[in-house]
Amino acid sequence: MQIRETLRSTYPVILLAVVVAICVTILTGVGNITLPRIEAMEKQKVEKMLSEMFPRMTGYTFEDEIYSVYSGDDTVGHAFIAIGKGYGGNINILVGLEDEQTIKGIIVVSHTETPGLGSLITEDFFTDQFTSVTIDDMALRRDGGQIDAITGATISSRAVAEAVRVTAWDKVELLRGNEAGT
Protein backbone atom coordinates (compact mmCIF):
# COMPACT_ATOMS: atom_id res chain seq x y z
CA MET A 1 0.00 0.00 0.00
CA GLN A 2 2.80 2.35 1.03
CA ILE A 3 4.70 1.66 -2.18
CA ARG A 4 1.63 2.26 -4.34
CA GLU A 5 1.05 5.59 -2.60
CA THR A 6 4.60 6.79 -3.17
CA LEU A 7 4.48 5.58 -6.78
CA ARG A 8 1.26 7.45 -7.40
CA SER A 9 2.54 10.73 -6.03
CA THR A 10 5.89 10.56 -7.77
CA TYR A 11 4.36 9.31 -11.05
CA PRO A 12 4.09 12.80 -12.59
CA VAL A 13 7.77 13.46 -12.01
CA ILE A 14 8.78 10.02 -13.25
CA LEU A 15 6.75 10.48 -16.41
CA LEU A 16 8.36 13.85 -16.99
CA ALA A 17 11.80 12.34 -16.52
CA VAL A 18 10.99 9.50 -18.94
CA VAL A 19 9.69 11.94 -21.55
CA VAL A 20 12.82 14.07 -21.19
CA ALA A 21 15.04 11.00 -21.50
CA ILE A 22 13.30 9.83 -24.66
CA CYS A 23 13.47 13.28 -26.21
CA VAL A 24 17.14 13.77 -25.39
CA THR A 25 17.97 10.37 -26.91
CA ILE A 26 16.11 11.16 -30.12
CA LEU A 27 17.78 14.54 -30.37
CA THR A 28 21.25 13.16 -29.75
CA GLY A 29 20.65 10.61 -32.49
CA VAL A 30 19.45 13.17 -35.00
CA GLY A 31 22.21 15.52 -33.89
CA ASN A 32 24.86 12.94 -34.69
CA ILE A 33 23.52 12.71 -38.22
CA THR A 34 22.97 16.38 -38.92
CA LEU A 35 25.75 18.20 -37.07
CA PRO A 36 28.65 16.76 -39.08
CA ARG A 37 26.79 17.64 -42.25
CA ILE A 38 26.18 21.19 -41.06
CA GLU A 39 29.85 21.62 -40.21
CA ALA A 40 30.90 20.27 -43.60
CA MET A 41 28.59 22.71 -45.35
CA GLU A 42 30.06 25.62 -43.37
CA LYS A 43 33.57 24.60 -44.45
CA GLN A 44 32.42 24.27 -48.05
CA LYS A 45 30.98 27.77 -47.97
CA VAL A 46 34.28 29.23 -46.77
CA GLU A 47 36.25 27.24 -49.33
CA LYS A 48 34.00 28.42 -52.12
CA MET A 49 34.44 32.06 -51.14
CA LEU A 50 38.21 31.74 -50.77
CA SER A 51 38.62 30.09 -54.16
CA GLU A 52 36.42 32.74 -55.73
CA MET A 53 38.80 35.33 -54.38
CA PHE A 54 42.01 33.40 -55.11
CA PRO A 55 41.35 31.44 -58.30
CA ARG A 56 44.64 29.55 -58.15
CA MET A 57 44.03 28.28 -54.63
CA THR A 58 44.82 24.65 -53.95
CA GLY A 59 44.61 24.70 -50.17
CA TYR A 60 44.39 26.88 -47.10
CA THR A 61 45.02 26.95 -43.39
CA PHE A 62 43.30 28.88 -40.64
CA GLU A 63 45.27 30.14 -37.67
CA ASP A 64 44.83 33.10 -35.33
CA GLU A 65 41.72 34.11 -37.23
CA ILE A 66 43.64 34.52 -40.49
CA TYR A 67 43.31 32.29 -43.52
CA SER A 68 46.56 31.60 -45.36
CA VAL A 69 45.91 30.65 -48.95
CA TYR A 70 48.27 28.39 -50.90
CA SER A 71 48.74 27.52 -54.52
CA GLY A 72 50.99 24.49 -54.46
CA ASP A 73 53.76 25.38 -52.04
CA ASP A 74 53.52 29.15 -52.37
CA THR A 75 51.50 31.42 -50.16
CA VAL A 76 49.26 33.25 -52.59
CA GLY A 77 47.69 35.54 -50.03
CA HIS A 78 45.74 35.80 -46.82
CA ALA A 79 42.14 36.39 -45.90
CA PHE A 80 40.17 37.32 -42.82
CA ILE A 81 36.70 38.33 -41.69
CA ALA A 82 36.12 42.00 -40.99
CA ILE A 83 33.02 43.11 -39.12
CA GLY A 84 31.58 46.50 -40.00
CA LYS A 85 29.11 48.47 -37.94
CA GLY A 86 26.42 49.00 -40.53
CA TYR A 87 23.14 50.87 -40.47
CA GLY A 88 21.08 47.86 -39.45
CA GLY A 89 23.66 45.82 -37.58
CA ASN A 90 26.89 43.97 -38.21
CA ILE A 91 28.20 43.46 -41.72
CA ASN A 92 30.44 40.41 -42.14
CA ILE A 93 33.02 40.86 -44.87
CA LEU A 94 35.58 38.37 -46.15
CA VAL A 95 38.66 40.40 -47.08
CA GLY A 96 41.47 39.04 -49.23
CA LEU A 97 45.01 40.32 -48.77
CA GLU A 98 47.29 40.18 -51.73
CA ASP A 99 50.32 41.43 -49.89
CA GLU A 100 51.14 43.78 -47.04
CA GLN A 101 49.84 46.78 -48.92
CA THR A 102 47.08 45.59 -51.17
CA ILE A 103 43.60 44.23 -50.78
CA LYS A 104 42.84 41.43 -53.22
CA GLY A 105 39.09 41.95 -53.01
CA ILE A 106 36.11 41.58 -50.71
CA ILE A 107 33.00 39.45 -50.46
CA VAL A 108 30.13 40.61 -48.25
CA VAL A 109 29.15 37.47 -46.38
CA SER A 110 26.15 38.68 -44.42
CA HIS A 111 24.41 41.87 -43.41
CA THR A 112 21.11 43.30 -42.25
CA GLU A 113 21.11 46.55 -44.18
CA THR A 114 18.07 48.22 -45.70
CA PRO A 115 16.76 46.27 -48.67
CA GLY A 116 17.16 48.25 -51.88
CA LEU A 117 19.66 50.68 -50.40
CA GLY A 118 22.32 49.39 -48.02
CA SER A 119 21.73 45.85 -49.25
CA LEU A 120 23.39 46.86 -52.51
CA ILE A 121 26.79 46.52 -50.83
CA THR A 122 26.75 42.89 -51.95
CA GLU A 123 26.52 43.89 -55.60
CA ASP A 124 29.54 43.67 -57.89
CA PHE A 125 29.42 47.33 -58.82
CA PHE A 126 30.26 48.18 -55.21
CA THR A 127 32.58 45.33 -54.22
CA ASP A 128 34.60 45.48 -57.45
CA GLN A 129 35.89 48.83 -56.23
CA PHE A 130 37.82 46.99 -53.56
CA THR A 131 39.82 44.82 -55.97
CA SER A 132 43.57 45.41 -55.97
CA VAL A 133 43.45 48.60 -53.93
CA THR A 134 46.01 49.72 -51.42
CA ILE A 135 44.90 49.54 -47.83
CA ASP A 136 45.34 53.28 -47.30
CA ASP A 137 42.91 54.06 -50.10
CA MET A 138 40.22 52.01 -48.41
CA ALA A 139 37.89 54.85 -47.57
CA LEU A 140 35.03 56.72 -49.18
CA ARG A 141 36.04 59.39 -51.65
CA ARG A 142 34.61 62.04 -49.37
CA ASP A 143 36.75 60.66 -46.56
CA GLY A 144 39.93 60.89 -48.63
CA GLY A 145 39.95 57.46 -50.20
CA GLN A 146 39.01 55.84 -53.44
CA ILE A 147 35.66 54.16 -52.84
CA ASP A 148 32.47 55.63 -54.22
CA ALA A 149 29.62 55.28 -51.78
CA ILE A 150 26.25 53.92 -52.86
CA THR A 151 23.75 56.73 -53.35
CA GLY A 152 21.45 56.86 -50.37
CA ALA A 153 23.52 54.32 -48.45
CA THR A 154 26.44 56.30 -47.16
CA ILE A 155 26.45 54.70 -43.72
CA SER A 156 26.47 51.16 -45.11
CA SER A 157 29.17 52.00 -47.66
CA ARG A 158 31.32 53.74 -45.09
CA ALA A 159 30.92 50.86 -42.65
CA VAL A 160 32.32 48.44 -45.21
CA ALA A 161 35.24 50.66 -46.23
CA GLU A 162 36.21 51.48 -42.65
CA ALA A 163 35.97 47.87 -41.47
CA VAL A 164 38.12 46.65 -44.36
CA ARG A 165 40.83 49.25 -43.83
CA VAL A 166 41.08 49.09 -40.07
CA THR A 167 40.96 45.30 -39.83
CA ALA A 168 43.45 44.99 -42.71
CA TRP A 169 45.96 47.11 -40.84
CA ASP A 170 45.47 45.01 -37.71
CA LYS A 171 45.98 41.77 -39.57
CA VAL A 172 49.05 43.05 -41.41
CA GLU A 173 50.55 43.97 -38.03
CA LEU A 174 49.75 40.47 -36.78
CA LEU A 175 51.30 38.84 -39.82
CA ARG A 176 54.43 40.96 -39.52
CA GLY A 177 54.63 40.04 -35.85
CA ASN A 178 54.28 36.34 -36.66
CA GLU A 179 56.98 36.52 -39.27
CA ALA A 180 59.34 38.36 -36.95
CA GLY A 181 58.63 35.77 -34.26
CA THR A 182 59.44 32.81 -36.56
Q: Give least dist CB 173 to another protein, A.
A: 22
Label the pairing between strands 102-110 and 90-97.
antiparallel
72-131 binders of another protein (CB under 8 A): 85, 87-89, 114-117
5 versus 179: smaller Cβ distance to another protein: 5
Which of 12, 55, 72, 181 touches another protein by CB under 8 A? Answer: 12
102 Cβ contact list (under 8 Å, min separation 6): 132, 133, 134, 135
Nearer to another protein, 71 or 114 (CB): 114
The string of DSSP codes covering 114-153 is PTTTGGGGGSHHHHGGGTTEEGGG-SBGGGTSSBPPBTTB
Binding string, residues 14-53; x marks residues near another protein by CB under 8 A: -xx--xx--xx-xx--xx-xxx-xx--x------------
Q: How many residues bind another protein (CB under 8 A)?
A: 28
For another protein, what does the binding mask look like between residues 147 and 176, x meaning CB under 8 A?
--------x---------------------
Smallest gap from residue 4 Cβ to another protein (A):
15
User: What is the rounded CA–CA span in Å between residue 90 and residue 93?
Assistant: 10
3-state percent breakdown (helix, strand, coil) of the chain, nearest 5: 55, 25, 20
In the sheet where 59-63 sits, what is the strand order? 59-63, 66-71, 74-85, 90-97, 102-110, 133-134
Instruction: Write out the residues near another protein by the rule CB under 8 A.
Output: 11-13, 15-16, 19-20, 23-24, 26-27, 30-31, 33-35, 37-38, 41, 85, 87-89, 114-117, 155
